Structure 1
Amino acid sequence: MLQSMTGFGTARQDGDQYSITIDIRSLNSKGLDLSLRLPRFLADKEHEIRTILGKSLVRGKVSLSVDYSGTTKAARTANSINQELLQHYYTELENAADLVGASKNDLFRLALQMPEVIQQAPRTEEEDAQMPVPWEIITELLQEAIANLNRFRSDEGKALTSEIMAYVDRIRILLAEVDKYDPVRLEYIRERIRTHLAEISNSEQFNQNRFEQEMIYFIEKLDIAEEKVRLINHLHYFTETVYLPEPTGKKLAFISQEIGREINTIGSKANDATIQHLVVEMKEELEKIKEQLNNIL
């Protein structure tokens, strides 16, 4: 079954000390084009992450982002008290209490709540580079996000499969019309040949052998029987390839080129207005197929 190249997958885990989310988005691309946005502590794991993505996603313009944040409990461990500012606020509050004769029981708590008394200490580069989340959890979340992306791709692929196969069936119907009309075309050609033969057979310059050779060449040039057989075979092969389990986008693109070649040859050899119209319709359906194949993995 076909898979779309476009999709989205996410995975999230909220721990006691952290919250981490992995998002993966995929768009159309001829190959695998990876773009990663990672926190600093995963910088040395970039190659491994790219390897995991490459094995699972095959093709597409893939953007991965890892968002990490420490929880309130984790952030509290990095807090510090500005003792000088605390002393300043406490003294000011104490003086104000003496001035109005108020109680001093809550002065320390009030001073702690004053602006910028409790400050979060800046993290060093060494602390940023430390792994706050086990690598095993990162890989599990990464595989979960990939699985969700591939599930999205498969769902989109089902819709694309139905659409593409409708176009293929339409080409089959049009080819059947060509096959139905072809005997009429050939009979018309034969009648034209008989008329011309009657006109020129009495000519003194008439050469029977040369005339027969030219007629054989002419008839072979107009014969589209082989092209019709090859076209129906290509359509069968295309259908079989659509339902293979592995990614088949590139193979289907090659087969569609062969389908187009046979359709064009039928049009050029038929030398008939009715068949030309059918050929134009087949080309239109093939263009729709090619357009959708740009979205196929």
Structure 2
Amino acid sequence: MIKSMTGFGAGDCENQDFKVHVELKTVNQRYLETNYHMPYSLNMFESQLTKKIKSYLSRGKLDINVRFQDLRDKAVTVSVDRGLAAAYGRALMEINEQLGLTGKPSAAQIAAYPDVLKITEENAKLAEAEPVLMAAFDEALGNLVAMRTAEGENIRADLLARIDVLEDYTAELEKLAPEIVDSYRQRLEKLLEEYLSKESIDESRIIQETALFTDKVNYTEETVRLHSHFDQFRSIIDMDEPVGRKLDFLVQEMNREINTVASKANSAGAARFVVDVKSEIEKIREQIQNIE
């Protein structure tokens, strides 16, 4: 079953201590690439998360967005920057003297200035958040894979339909092969008649030249291999594993075979089918770029 590399999935999990929301978005990428966007405090879980992601995905560029809330009552420490507070106090007293004001600055006034008070929250035992985080990731990854699988089914149907079209075009090319040889024989006979009009035509020479040309323009091997590639394509596409790279290689082989046919088939009729085949192969190649 093929999967698209494009998809989205979200997951949520919470308990009395933690609340996690995860959003995952994937796009095409030759290899698996992960980009995390989450609180710094969760970086300790990155290796476990990456391992989990690899158990679900093998290719694609994955953007990971995590919203995290610690719902526990936190131990809070408030400290005073004594030097800074004293400096603010002296400055305020100086202003009072300069303006002829009475009174001294209050502690509340001084504390209101930046960085005088420093508040520190203790996030002890954050490792306890791991089960909640992993559960949210499992849900998001499951939803992501479901979307990629559904899209993969649509791609599969399109690719198989195009392979059927290629089979028909290839069959038409095979029908044209004898006509190409016969047409050349007629052109060769006419040419020889012009040059040997005063003498009898050597039939064996015509047969010999025709045989040589037949060997040069015979693309039977290429069409046989194309049919084989089509059969392989149908088999690979239903493998229960990532098949994007295998299909990409197979499409390259198809393209190579049809290019050889194009170089051999000296025929306007064949050329039209070659163009159609190459067009379909290119459409298949573009679709395969979306497959995991």
TM-score under structure 1 length normalisation: 0.76
Query: 1:18/1:137 Cα in 2 relative to 1: closer, same or farther (>3 Å)?
Result: closer
**What is the deviation of 1:250?**
0.5
Residue in 2 that maps onto 1:166:
161
Q: Residues 1-297 of structure 1 correspond to what in structure 2 (within 5 A)?
A: 1-71=1-71, 74=72, 122-124=119-121, 127-128=122-123, 130-131=125-126, 133-200=128-195, 214-297=209-292
**What is the deviation of 1:139?**
2.2
Q: Can you list the C-alpha shifts for 1:226-267, whole angstroms capped at 9, x where unaligned?
A: 111111111111111111111100000000001011111111
User: Contact conserved, 1:41 with 1:130, CA < 8 A, in 2?
Assistant: no
User: Contact conserved, 2:23 with 2:64, CA < 8 A, in 1?
Assistant: yes
**What is the deviation of 1:198?**
4.3
Quote the Cα distance in structure 1 between the aligned partners of 2:11 and 2:139: 6
Q: Can you list the C-alpha shifts for 1:50-85, whole angstroms capped at 9, x where unaligned?
A: 2221232101001112211244xx46x66899xxxx
Quote the Cα distance in structure 1 between the aligned partners of 2:163 and 2:155: 12
Give the aligned CA root-mean-square deviation in angstroms: 2.7
Q: Can you list the C-alpha shifts for 1:124-171, whole angstroms capped at 9, x where unaligned?
A: 3xx246417432332232222212111111001011111112221111
Quote the Cα distance in structure 2 between the aligned partners of 1:79 and 1:2: 52
Amino acid at match of 1:66: V
Query: SS at the partner of 1:134?
Result: helix
Amino acid at match of 1:151: A
Quote the Cα distance in structure 1 between the aligned partners of 2:176 and 2:203: 31
Amino acid at match of 1:58: S
User: Contact conserved, 2:185 with 2:210, CA < 8 A, in 1?
Assistant: no
Amino acid at match of 2:58: V
Query: 1:228/1:291 Cα in 2 relative to 1: closer, same or farther (>3 Å)?
Result: same
Query: 1:209/1:179 Cα in 2 relative to 1: closer, same or farther (>3 Å)?
Result: closer
Q: Note the residue ranges of structure 2 that are not aligned, 5 or more in a row.
A: 79-117
Query: 1:233/1:70 Cα in 2 relative to 1: closer, same or farther (>3 Å)?
Result: same
Query: SS at the partner of 2:233?
Result: helix
Amino acid at match of 1:62: L
Q: Can you list the C-alpha shifts for 1:187-218, whole angstroms capped at 9, x where unaligned?
A: 212222333344556789x9999876654332
**What is the deviation of 1:36?**
1.0
Amino acid at match of 2:273: L
Q: Note the residue ranges of structure 1 that are not aligned, 5 or more in a row.
A: 82-120
Amino acid at match of 1:184: E
User: Contact conserved, 1:12 with 1:22, CA < 8 A, in 2?
Assistant: yes
